[in-house]
Chains A and B, each alone.
Chain A
Amino acid sequence: MRLLTRKLPWLIGTLLAVSFFTFMLVSLLPGDPAVMILGAGGVSPEAVAQLRLELGLDRPLVIRYFDWLGSALSGDLGRSPMTGQAVTDAILSRLPVTIQLGTMAIVIALTLAIPLAMVSAYFAGSRLDRGISGLGFALMSVPGFMMAIFLILVFAVGLGWFPATGWVPLSESPAGNLQSAILPAMSLAMIELALYMRLLRTDLIDTLQQDYITLARAKGLPNWLILTRHALRPSSFSLMTVVGLQLGGVISGAIIVEEIFALPGVGRLLYQSILQRDLLMVQGIVLFIATAYVVVNFLVDLCYSLLDPRVRYAE
């Protein structure tokens, strides 16, 4: 608990700075929102000025910031002047898609990465290890969209097993949902897989050289037990941290993947809002995403301190 109170001010401070930065950056974007809404070219300056007044765009920046922040804290991120939709509603309705996508990607990546890394580390230096590491290298060199295109080519266009675009919500049909989610999730998962595998392998190799592993061998324990219980556990903590930090990358990848597969997620909404200069929407989404990222990493950090005995019981 003491840990929590010590780190809480950092959390609040960072979140405040994030909200401020978000607001400023978006507000400073070129392109007058009023003009954007009314459509450029052939609009009277009076109409523009009128709309600006209505939107409250004439007030000083700082006041607008606090106004916005105040409503945001009560859950109201405003209403998009372009689509008329409440920002919060727009985000929440699309959130499940993105969350499912991200979670599936991370789970797939971890499920594959952990055994591969263990095999790699155990046979470090062998041809098997070099093969697996080579595979990891190759995966790291493929950006998300390229992987998506490749997967579409093979599994959608070629084999026809999965759809190339579109999303079936879970409530409608679990099977259909899975079908529409697999290719996007795999696209995201591959890069994460490469990263997790590499990191875990290095950490495991390091751990396997420790004295306590030799002692475990001296106890006559079988190798698989040593790998899973004695070696994996110490190494899993750094992996946990990286998964948290990588969320930013997963979200970025999700934006692209959702766009390619035409999934109704938060990422796609963000991208299109930026294109349309729907600044209020952009503000709201960015604030949401950044806040979520900071909070999640904070929680990961906390968990780490609680779970890793080395940190928890440090004298």
Chain B
Amino acid sequence: MIDAGSHGEVLLRVNGLTVRLHSGNGLVHAVEDVSFSLARGQTLGVVGESGSGKSVMARSLMGLLPKRALAGGSGEILFQTAGGAQRDLASLPEKQLRLLRGPALAMVFQDPMTALNPVLRLSVQLTEPLRLHLGLDRQQARSRAIELLASVGIPDAAGRIDQFPHQLSGGMRQRVVIAIALACSPSLLIADEPTTALDVTVQKQILDLLARLQRELHMAMILITHDLGVVASRADHIAVMYAGRVVEYAPANTLFTSMKHPYTEALFNSIPRINDPSHTRLQAIPGRPPQLIDPAPGCAFAPRCQYAQPRCREQTPPVVTVADAPDHQHACFFPVSTIPGGRPHGR
């Protein structure tokens, strides 16, 4: 079981989360046996390619997957509610889960262009959760909404509150999405690729904003991205996902200095470095992400792994803890070893 280590109040503890989904072609093993824990004030970075299961995992934490698509799964999502009780979100009936969405759990979505309802004014979209969960009346909700807009850095909040999403730029829309998510001061914020659809300059602003708000509200945050660079300086722990499993988990520093899983290494090497001589070949990971329908036995990364051995294709590597590093885990039979101070072995 992957542990957040000793950081005080553990807010979220996920045990063996497995999610299967119906699709036109069969049963998709979207998330397989994922476990981790998270304390307040901490940030967990989840990194992986498209199709690695990170979005499905995020949505299943909040119960946002369409019921019709679910095809059996298992695991626990133990969450510490404000009242002090610990609840398993995975088995909570929808009605009670709905009460938690907003005040306890919140999500920021990837594409600000589509995340806001185009035909509703910002005032409506912002005051809804305030009136529903906090019981504010119209006036109170409206002024609180204006405060929220200002706190996420939108200039002239009072003037903008009655506008429609189309009248705002992408970066501003994302700020509104964040404002909506934080309206009821949740204890856990899940940010699913919050900056992927934004310009690079705006990315930093949004990430800084998220970090500041996290501090102010003492929230736990799960930061999902496909970009290692984003989590490098902003996450306390990093979980690397591949084909629905967590293949490596470590505190941020440890991950970058002594990564163990070949996939992590490959991800790391694929980032172009500014100091490399010109015309250096980009190192892409050969092959394609695996089909998640009826997965073959063995390690999911084996077909693309340069260190793969026959054993890797027969047995699925279990999660093991690195010796002398109790909060560093990985799932590989033949972990990569690192030359301290330099690039990992093999480059």
- In the complex, which of the residues A125, A211, A216 has the most CB atoms of chain B within 10 Å of its own CB atom? A211
Partner of B119, one of A221, A222, A233: A233
The CA of A75 and the CA of B98, in the complex, are separated in Å by 62
Q: Taking the complex as formed, is B322 at the interface, i.e. its CB lies under 8 A from any CB of chain A?
A: no
A-B contact pairs, 26 of them (CB 8 A): A211-B111, A211-B114, A212-B116, A212-B118, A214-B59, A214-B109, A215-B107, A215-B177, A217-B64, A217-B101, A218-B62, A218-B102, A218-B106, A218-B181, A220-B101, A220-B132, A221-B128, A221-B132, A233-B120, A308-B119, A309-B166, A310-B118, A310-B166, A313-B164, A313-B166, A315-B166
Q: Taking the complex as formed, is B167 at the interface, i.e. its CB lies under 8 A from any CB of chain A?
A: yes
Partner of B133, one of A220, A229, A237, A314: A220
Closest to B116 in A: A212
The CA of A221 and the CA of B103, in the complex, are separated in Å by 12
Find residues 90-118 in chain B having any chain A CB closer than 8 Å to their own CB: 98-103, 105-107, 109, 111, 114-118
The CA of A34 and the CA of B133, in the complex, are separated in Å by 78
Q: Taking the complex as formed, is A234 at the interface, i.e. its CB lies under 8 A from any CB of chain B?
A: yes
Contact bitstring A220-258, B, C-beta under 8 A = 1, else 0: 111000000110011001000000000000000000000
Known: A214-B109, A218-B62, A219-B101. A234 touches B118 (CB 8 A): yes
Q: Taking the complex as formed, is A210 at the interface, i.e. its CB lies under 8 A from any CB of chain B?
A: yes
Find residues 122-151 in chain B having any chain A CB closer than 8 Å to their own CB: 124, 128-129, 132-133
Closest to A310 in B: B118
Closest to A309 in B: B164
Count of interface residues, chain A, beta-carbon cutoff 8 Å: 24
Chain A residues closer than 8 Å to B107, beta-carbon distance:
215, 218
The CA of A40 and the CA of B119, in the complex, are separated in Å by 63
* Minimum distance in angstroms from A187 CB to a CB of chain B: 34
The CA of A66 and the CA of B166, in the complex, are separated in Å by 48
Q: Write the residues of chain B forming the contact surface with A, with a CB cutoff of 8 angstroms.
A: 59, 62, 64, 68, 98-103, 105-107, 109, 111, 114-120, 124, 128-129, 132-133, 164, 166-167, 177, 180-181
* Minimum distance in angstroms from B335 CB to a CB of chain A: 37
Q: Write the residues of chain A forming the contact surface with B, with a CB cutoff of 8 angstroms.
A: 125, 210-212, 214-222, 229-230, 233-234, 237, 308-310, 313-315
The majority secondary structure among interface residues of chain B is helix
The majority secondary structure among interface residues of chain A is helix
Check if A220 sits within 8 Å of B115, measured CB to CB.
no
Check if A230 sits within 8 Å of B133, measured CB to CB.
no
New A-B contacts (10) at CB < 8 Å, excluding given A234-B119, A310-B166: A211-B115, A214-B59, A214-B109, A215-B115, A218-B106, A220-B99, A220-B101, A220-B102, A221-B128, A310-B119
Chain B residues closer than 8 Å to A229, beta-carbon distance:
120, 124
Chain A residues closer than 8 Å to B106, beta-carbon distance:
218
Check if A220 sits within 8 Å of B98, measured CB to CB.
yes
Check if A230 sits within 8 Å of B101, measured CB to CB.
no
The CA of A17 and the CA of B102, in the complex, are separated in Å by 58
Chain B residues closer than 8 Å to A218, beta-carbon distance:
62, 64, 101-102, 105-107, 181
Check if B117 sits within 8 Å of A216, measured CB to CB.
yes
The CA of A104 and the CA of B208, in the complex, are separated in Å by 58
Known: A219-B102, A220-B99, A233-B120. A212 touches B114 (CB 8 A): yes
The CA of A110 and the CA of B98, in the complex, are separated in Å by 31
Partner of B180, one of A215, A222, A233, A237: A215
The CA of A220 and the CA of B106, in the complex, are separated in Å by 9
* Minimum distance in angstroms from B330 CB to a CB of chain A: 32
* Minimum distance in angstroms from A211 CB to a CB of chain B: 4
Chain B residues closer than 8 Å to A222, beta-carbon distance:
98
